[in-house]
Amino acid sequence: MTDVNLTAILYKKDDMRLEDLPVPEPKEGEVQISMANVGICGSDVHYWTHGEIGDFIVKAPMILGHEASGVVSKVGQGVTSLKLGDRVAIEPGVPCRVCKYCKTGRYNLCLDMAFCATPPYHGNLARFYTHAADFCYKLPDHVSTEEGALLEPLSVGVHACNRANIGLGDRVLICGAGPIGLVNLITAKSRGAADVIITDIDEKRLEFARQLGANYTLKVTSRDPRVTAQQIEETLGQPADKTIECSGVASSIRTAIFATASGGCVVLVGLGAADVELPIVNAAVREVDIRGIFRYVNCYPTALSMVASGQVDVKPLITHRFKLEQSLDAFEAAKRGEGVKIMINCERK
Protein backbone atom coordinates (compact mmCIF):
# COMPACT_ATOMS: atom_id res chain seq x y z
CA MET A 1 0.00 0.00 0.00
CA THR A 2 1.40 3.36 -0.97
CA ASP A 3 1.42 5.74 1.97
CA VAL A 4 -0.16 8.95 0.69
CA ASN A 5 -2.32 9.70 3.73
CA LEU A 6 -2.07 6.78 6.13
CA THR A 7 -5.09 7.03 8.45
CA ALA A 8 -6.40 5.15 11.51
CA ILE A 9 -10.08 4.37 10.93
CA LEU A 10 -12.52 2.82 13.38
CA TYR A 11 -15.13 0.83 11.47
CA LYS A 12 -16.98 -0.57 14.44
CA LYS A 13 -16.33 -2.02 17.88
CA ASP A 14 -12.94 -3.79 17.98
CA ASP A 15 -12.34 -3.06 14.29
CA MET A 16 -9.68 -0.38 13.70
CA ARG A 17 -7.75 -0.37 10.44
CA LEU A 18 -4.90 1.60 8.91
CA GLU A 19 -5.84 2.70 5.41
CA ASP A 20 -4.49 5.07 2.78
CA LEU A 21 -6.91 7.92 2.04
CA PRO A 22 -6.74 10.91 -0.33
CA VAL A 23 -5.10 14.01 1.12
CA PRO A 24 -7.89 16.42 2.19
CA GLU A 25 -7.94 19.93 0.75
CA PRO A 26 -8.60 22.93 3.01
CA LYS A 27 -11.89 24.76 2.57
CA GLU A 28 -12.30 28.50 3.07
CA GLY A 29 -11.09 29.43 6.54
CA GLU A 30 -9.25 26.15 6.98
CA VAL A 31 -5.66 24.97 6.88
CA GLN A 32 -4.26 21.65 5.80
CA ILE A 33 -1.99 20.20 8.47
CA SER A 34 0.81 17.70 8.10
CA MET A 35 0.19 15.92 11.37
CA ALA A 36 3.05 15.61 13.85
CA ASN A 37 1.76 14.08 17.09
CA VAL A 38 -1.52 12.62 18.31
CA GLY A 39 -2.04 11.45 21.89
CA ILE A 40 -4.36 8.57 22.73
CA CYS A 41 -7.25 9.61 24.97
CA GLY A 42 -9.41 7.28 27.01
CA SER A 43 -12.36 8.21 24.80
CA ASP A 44 -10.48 6.93 21.72
CA VAL A 45 -9.94 3.58 23.41
CA HIS A 46 -13.55 3.50 24.63
CA TYR A 47 -14.91 4.03 21.10
CA TRP A 48 -12.60 1.27 19.87
CA THR A 49 -13.58 -1.23 22.57
CA HIS A 50 -17.29 -0.33 22.96
CA GLY A 51 -18.27 1.42 19.74
CA GLU A 52 -20.04 4.18 21.63
CA ILE A 53 -19.90 6.64 24.50
CA GLY A 54 -23.34 7.50 25.84
CA ASP A 55 -25.43 8.90 23.00
CA PHE A 56 -22.41 9.13 20.67
CA ILE A 57 -22.46 5.92 18.64
CA VAL A 58 -20.10 4.90 15.85
CA LYS A 59 -22.53 4.22 13.00
CA ALA A 60 -20.09 4.81 10.13
CA PRO A 61 -16.30 4.54 9.75
CA MET A 62 -14.64 7.26 11.84
CA ILE A 63 -11.05 8.49 11.94
CA LEU A 64 -9.74 8.47 15.52
CA GLY A 65 -7.63 11.02 17.39
CA HIS A 66 -8.15 14.49 18.86
CA GLU A 67 -5.13 15.37 21.03
CA ALA A 68 -3.05 16.72 18.21
CA SER A 69 -0.49 19.02 16.66
CA GLY A 70 1.16 19.44 13.30
CA VAL A 71 2.63 21.76 10.66
CA VAL A 72 0.57 23.89 8.30
CA SER A 73 1.08 22.44 4.82
CA LYS A 74 -1.56 24.39 2.86
CA VAL A 75 -3.62 27.49 3.59
CA GLY A 76 -7.26 27.81 2.57
CA GLN A 77 -8.90 30.91 1.14
CA GLY A 78 -9.30 33.79 3.56
CA VAL A 79 -6.83 32.54 6.15
CA THR A 80 -4.45 35.27 7.34
CA SER A 81 -3.58 34.11 10.86
CA LEU A 82 -1.35 31.21 9.76
CA LYS A 83 1.16 30.51 7.01
CA LEU A 84 2.95 27.54 5.51
CA GLY A 85 5.36 25.93 7.96
CA ASP A 86 3.68 27.19 11.13
CA ARG A 87 3.69 24.57 13.89
CA VAL A 88 0.28 24.46 15.54
CA ALA A 89 -1.70 22.87 18.34
CA ILE A 90 -5.19 21.87 17.24
CA GLU A 91 -8.18 22.63 19.45
CA PRO A 92 -10.38 19.76 18.26
CA GLY A 93 -13.85 21.26 18.74
CA VAL A 94 -15.19 23.76 16.21
CA PRO A 95 -18.53 25.35 17.22
CA CYS A 96 -21.11 27.11 15.06
CA ARG A 97 -19.95 30.55 16.31
CA VAL A 98 -23.44 32.10 16.08
CA CYS A 99 -25.67 30.45 18.72
CA LYS A 100 -26.27 31.97 22.16
CA TYR A 101 -23.65 29.70 23.77
CA CYS A 102 -21.00 30.74 21.27
CA LYS A 103 -21.89 34.42 21.48
CA THR A 104 -21.80 34.43 25.28
CA GLY A 105 -18.38 32.77 25.38
CA ARG A 106 -19.46 29.24 26.29
CA TYR A 107 -18.92 27.67 22.90
CA ASN A 108 -18.13 24.27 24.44
CA LEU A 109 -21.89 23.95 25.02
CA CYS A 110 -22.73 24.66 21.35
CA LEU A 111 -25.33 22.18 20.13
CA ASP A 112 -23.71 22.13 16.69
CA MET A 113 -20.18 21.46 17.89
CA ALA A 114 -18.04 19.47 15.45
CA PHE A 115 -15.54 17.68 17.68
CA CYS A 116 -12.75 15.49 16.35
CA ALA A 117 -13.30 11.74 16.68
CA THR A 118 -16.78 12.14 18.13
CA PRO A 119 -19.44 10.60 15.87
CA PRO A 120 -20.19 11.63 13.20
CA TYR A 121 -17.02 13.76 12.93
CA HIS A 122 -13.62 12.45 11.92
CA GLY A 123 -10.50 12.86 14.03
CA ASN A 124 -6.92 13.53 12.98
CA LEU A 125 -4.86 10.37 13.47
CA ALA A 126 -3.49 10.55 9.95
CA ARG A 127 -0.67 11.98 7.84
CA PHE A 128 -2.81 14.94 6.76
CA TYR A 129 -5.87 16.66 8.19
CA THR A 130 -7.79 19.91 7.65
CA HIS A 131 -9.09 22.15 10.43
CA ALA A 132 -10.54 25.60 11.02
CA ALA A 133 -7.63 28.03 11.17
CA ASP A 134 -9.05 29.98 14.11
CA PHE A 135 -8.94 26.83 16.24
CA CYS A 136 -5.27 26.25 15.53
CA TYR A 137 -2.70 27.86 17.83
CA LYS A 138 0.79 28.68 16.63
CA LEU A 139 3.50 27.14 18.81
CA PRO A 140 6.55 29.16 19.86
CA ASP A 141 9.83 27.75 18.56
CA HIS A 142 10.78 26.34 21.95
CA VAL A 143 7.51 24.42 22.45
CA SER A 144 7.57 20.95 20.87
CA THR A 145 4.75 19.44 18.86
CA GLU A 146 4.42 16.76 21.55
CA GLU A 147 3.76 19.52 24.07
CA GLY A 148 1.35 21.03 21.56
CA ALA A 149 -0.65 17.80 21.47
CA LEU A 150 -0.75 17.76 25.28
CA LEU A 151 -2.47 21.15 25.34
CA GLU A 152 -5.73 19.25 24.79
CA PRO A 153 -5.77 17.32 28.09
CA LEU A 154 -4.10 20.26 29.84
CA SER A 155 -7.01 22.45 28.74
CA VAL A 156 -9.36 20.08 30.56
CA GLY A 157 -7.37 20.79 33.72
CA VAL A 158 -7.48 24.53 33.08
CA HIS A 159 -11.25 24.47 32.62
CA ALA A 160 -11.83 22.30 35.70
CA CYS A 161 -9.66 24.52 37.88
CA ASN A 162 -11.45 27.58 36.49
CA ARG A 163 -14.80 26.04 37.39
CA ALA A 164 -13.51 25.22 40.89
CA ASN A 165 -12.00 28.72 41.18
CA ILE A 166 -8.79 27.29 42.62
CA GLY A 167 -6.47 29.99 43.88
CA LEU A 168 -3.67 30.90 46.24
CA GLY A 169 -3.63 28.92 49.45
CA ASP A 170 -6.39 26.46 48.54
CA ARG A 171 -6.24 22.91 49.78
CA VAL A 172 -7.33 20.74 46.89
CA LEU A 173 -8.50 17.15 46.61
CA ILE A 174 -8.20 15.37 43.26
CA CYS A 175 -9.93 12.02 42.94
CA GLY A 176 -8.24 9.81 40.37
CA ALA A 177 -4.59 9.86 39.29
CA GLY A 178 -5.07 9.05 35.62
CA PRO A 179 -3.96 11.47 32.89
CA ILE A 180 -6.80 13.92 33.57
CA GLY A 181 -6.24 13.81 37.32
CA LEU A 182 -2.55 14.53 36.71
CA VAL A 183 -3.16 17.56 34.47
CA ASN A 184 -5.51 18.89 37.13
CA LEU A 185 -2.76 18.35 39.69
CA ILE A 186 -0.18 20.38 37.78
CA THR A 187 -2.73 23.06 36.92
CA ALA A 188 -3.91 23.41 40.53
CA LYS A 189 -0.31 23.72 41.71
CA SER A 190 0.41 26.36 39.05
CA ARG A 191 -2.58 28.38 40.28
CA GLY A 192 -1.16 28.57 43.79
CA ALA A 193 -2.84 25.69 45.60
CA ALA A 194 -1.09 25.26 48.94
CA ASP A 195 -1.65 21.53 49.25
CA VAL A 196 -2.93 18.96 46.78
CA ILE A 197 -3.93 15.44 47.79
CA ILE A 198 -4.71 12.92 45.08
CA THR A 199 -6.45 9.56 45.51
CA ASP A 200 -6.42 6.38 43.46
CA ILE A 201 -6.59 2.61 43.83
CA ASP A 202 -3.30 2.13 41.94
CA GLU A 203 -0.07 2.74 43.85
CA LYS A 204 1.95 3.19 40.63
CA ARG A 205 -0.28 6.08 39.58
CA LEU A 206 0.08 7.64 43.01
CA GLU A 207 3.86 7.40 42.81
CA PHE A 208 3.72 9.18 39.45
CA ALA A 209 1.55 11.88 41.02
CA ARG A 210 4.11 12.38 43.78
CA GLN A 211 6.80 12.86 41.14
CA LEU A 212 4.62 15.53 39.51
CA GLY A 213 4.31 17.47 42.76
CA ALA A 214 1.39 16.06 44.74
CA ASN A 215 1.82 17.01 48.41
CA TYR A 216 -0.10 13.97 49.59
CA THR A 217 -1.43 10.78 48.06
CA LEU A 218 -3.95 8.29 49.38
CA LYS A 219 -4.54 4.78 48.14
CA VAL A 220 -8.25 4.08 48.43
CA THR A 221 -8.88 0.77 50.16
CA SER A 222 -12.28 1.24 51.80
CA ARG A 223 -15.62 0.80 50.06
CA ASP A 224 -17.14 3.32 52.47
CA PRO A 225 -16.92 6.89 51.09
CA ARG A 226 -17.16 8.36 54.60
CA VAL A 227 -14.14 6.36 55.74
CA THR A 228 -12.10 7.53 52.75
CA ALA A 229 -13.24 11.10 53.33
CA GLN A 230 -12.10 10.89 56.94
CA GLN A 231 -8.69 9.61 55.82
CA ILE A 232 -8.41 12.53 53.40
CA GLU A 233 -9.29 15.04 56.12
CA GLU A 234 -6.77 13.50 58.53
CA THR A 235 -4.05 13.63 55.87
CA LEU A 236 -4.77 17.24 54.87
CA GLY A 237 -5.42 18.36 58.42
CA GLN A 238 -8.83 19.69 57.38
CA PRO A 239 -11.46 19.10 54.67
CA ALA A 240 -10.52 20.13 51.14
CA ASP A 241 -11.50 23.63 50.05
CA LYS A 242 -12.00 22.50 46.45
CA THR A 243 -12.34 19.02 44.98
CA ILE A 244 -11.94 17.84 41.40
CA GLU A 245 -13.40 14.38 40.80
CA CYS A 246 -11.74 12.71 37.81
CA SER A 247 -12.63 9.03 38.18
CA GLY A 248 -16.36 9.03 37.50
CA VAL A 249 -16.74 6.21 40.03
CA ALA A 250 -19.91 6.57 42.11
CA SER A 251 -18.24 5.90 45.46
CA SER A 252 -15.50 8.41 44.63
CA ILE A 253 -18.06 11.10 43.82
CA ARG A 254 -19.68 10.51 47.21
CA THR A 255 -16.26 10.70 48.84
CA ALA A 256 -15.63 13.99 47.05
CA ILE A 257 -18.75 15.53 48.62
CA PHE A 258 -18.03 14.23 52.12
CA ALA A 259 -14.38 15.34 51.96
CA THR A 260 -15.10 18.90 50.81
CA ALA A 261 -15.40 21.67 53.38
CA SER A 262 -18.68 23.47 53.96
CA GLY A 263 -18.97 26.29 51.44
CA GLY A 264 -16.54 24.52 49.13
CA CYS A 265 -16.92 23.23 45.60
CA VAL A 266 -16.86 19.84 43.89
CA VAL A 267 -16.21 19.77 40.13
CA LEU A 268 -17.20 16.60 38.29
CA VAL A 269 -14.78 15.83 35.48
CA GLY A 270 -14.83 12.03 35.24
CA LEU A 271 -17.80 10.43 33.52
CA GLY A 272 -19.11 7.06 34.66
CA ALA A 273 -22.64 5.76 35.09
CA ALA A 274 -25.44 7.96 33.77
CA ASP A 275 -27.24 7.90 37.12
CA VAL A 276 -25.43 8.08 40.46
CA GLU A 277 -26.79 8.15 44.00
CA LEU A 278 -25.37 11.17 45.88
CA PRO A 279 -25.50 12.49 49.47
CA ILE A 280 -27.29 15.54 48.14
CA VAL A 281 -28.73 16.69 51.46
CA ASN A 282 -25.26 16.64 52.99
CA ALA A 283 -24.04 18.85 50.15
CA ALA A 284 -27.07 21.13 50.26
CA VAL A 285 -27.08 21.93 53.98
CA ARG A 286 -23.32 22.56 53.93
CA GLU A 287 -23.56 24.71 50.78
CA VAL A 288 -21.13 22.55 48.85
CA ASP A 289 -21.44 23.53 45.20
CA ILE A 290 -21.48 20.68 42.67
CA ARG A 291 -20.43 21.72 39.18
CA GLY A 292 -19.89 19.86 35.94
CA ILE A 293 -17.52 20.55 33.10
CA PHE A 294 -17.76 19.71 29.43
CA ARG A 295 -14.36 19.61 27.77
CA TYR A 296 -13.04 23.22 27.92
CA VAL A 297 -13.72 26.70 26.64
CA ASN A 298 -11.26 29.53 25.91
CA CYS A 299 -8.56 27.45 27.61
CA TYR A 300 -6.05 26.70 24.86
CA PRO A 301 -4.34 30.12 25.03
CA THR A 302 -3.94 29.73 28.80
CA ALA A 303 -2.65 26.16 28.50
CA LEU A 304 -0.17 27.24 25.83
CA SER A 305 1.12 30.14 27.91
CA MET A 306 1.54 27.84 30.92
CA VAL A 307 3.74 25.51 28.88
CA ALA A 308 5.58 28.21 26.92
CA SER A 309 6.47 30.14 30.08
CA GLY A 310 7.79 27.03 31.80
CA GLN A 311 5.19 27.35 34.52
CA VAL A 312 4.20 23.72 33.97
CA ASP A 313 6.07 20.79 32.45
CA VAL A 314 3.83 18.33 30.65
CA LYS A 315 6.61 16.33 29.02
CA PRO A 316 6.85 13.76 31.85
CA LEU A 317 3.27 12.70 31.10
CA ILE A 318 4.45 11.00 27.90
CA THR A 319 5.53 7.49 28.85
CA HIS A 320 5.16 5.64 25.53
CA ARG A 321 5.82 6.62 21.91
CA PHE A 322 4.72 4.88 18.71
CA LYS A 323 4.76 5.63 14.99
CA LEU A 324 1.55 6.02 13.00
CA GLU A 325 2.21 2.65 11.39
CA GLN A 326 2.14 1.16 14.91
CA SER A 327 -1.23 2.63 15.87
CA LEU A 328 -2.80 -0.76 16.58
CA ASP A 329 0.05 -1.60 18.96
CA ALA A 330 -0.33 1.80 20.59
CA PHE A 331 -4.04 1.27 21.20
CA GLU A 332 -3.41 -2.21 22.58
CA ALA A 333 -0.94 -0.69 25.05
CA ALA A 334 -3.49 1.95 26.04
CA LYS A 335 -6.15 -0.72 26.45
CA ARG A 336 -3.84 -2.58 28.84
CA GLY A 337 -3.49 0.61 30.88
CA GLU A 338 0.23 0.93 30.29
CA GLY A 339 1.93 4.17 31.24
CA VAL A 340 0.24 7.56 31.42
CA LYS A 341 0.10 9.23 28.01
CA ILE A 342 0.78 7.33 24.80
CA MET A 343 1.90 9.53 21.92
CA ILE A 344 1.75 8.60 18.23
CA ASN A 345 4.10 10.32 15.80
CA CYS A 346 2.43 10.84 12.42
CA GLU A 347 5.40 12.19 10.48
CA ARG A 348 6.69 10.18 7.54
CA LYS A 349 10.27 9.25 8.40
pLDDT digits (tens, 9 = 90+) for 119-132: 999 999 999 999 99
The CATH architecture to which 6-138+314-345 belongs is Alpha-Beta Complex (3.90)
Show Cβ contacts of residue 49 under 8 Å, excluding neighbours closer than 6 positions.
Answer: 13, 14, 335
pTM exceeds 0.85, yes or no: yes
Measure the N-to-C terminal CA separation of the chain; round to a whole number of Å: 16
Q: How far apart are CA 132 and CA 82, in angstroms?
A: 11
- C-beta of residue 314 within 8 angstroms of C-beta of residue 307: yes
Domain with CATH 3.90.180.10 in the chain: 6-138+314-345
Residue 176: Cβ within 10 Å count: 27
Domain with CATH 3.40.50.720 in the chain: 157-292
Give which of 51, 43, 66 is closest to 124, Cα–Cα.
66
Q: State the angle between helix axes of 145-164 and 179-190 in degrees (0 to 180), rounded to the nearest 10.
A: 70
Over its C-alpha atoms, the chain yields an Rg (Å, rounded) of 20
Write the DSSP assignment of 243-279 as a string of letters: EEE-S--HHHHHHHHHHEEEEEEEEE-----SS----
Strand order of the β-sheet with 62-63 is 15-20, 6-12, 62-63
Domain 157-292 bears CATH identifier 3.40.50.720: yes
The pLDDT, as a whole number, for residue 54 is 87
Taking CA atoms, 205 is separated from 147, 174, 210, 340, in Å, by 21, 13, 9, 8
- C-beta of residue 28 within 8 angstroms of C-beta of residue 76: yes
Taking CA atoms, 323 is separated from 5, 158, 235, 330, 338, in Å, by 14, 29, 43, 8, 17
Pairing of strands 216-219, 240-245: unpaired
- C-beta of residue 346 within 8 angstroms of C-beta of residue 38: yes
The pLDDT, as a whole number, for residue 220 is 98
The pLDDT, as a whole number, for residue 349 is 75
> How does pLDDT run along the chain (349 residues), one tens digit per residue?
568 999 999 999 999 999 999 999 999 999 999 999 999 999 999 999 999 998 899 999 999 999 999 999 999 999 999 999 999 999 999 999 999 999 999 999 999 999 999 999 999 999 999 999 999 999 999 999 999 999 999 999 999 999 999 999 999 999 999 999 999 999 999 999 999 999 999 999 999 999 999 999 999 999 999 999 999 999 999 999 999 999 999 999 999 999 999 999 999 999 999 999 999 999 999 999 999 999 999 999 999 999 999 999 999 999 999 999 999 999 999 999 999 999 999 998 7
Burial of residue 87, with CB atoms counted within 10 A of its CB: 0-12 exposed, 13-18 middle, 19 or more buried: buried
The pLDDT, as a whole number, for residue 3 is 83
pLDDT tens by residue, 181-218: 999 999 999 999 999 999 999 999 999 999 999 999 99
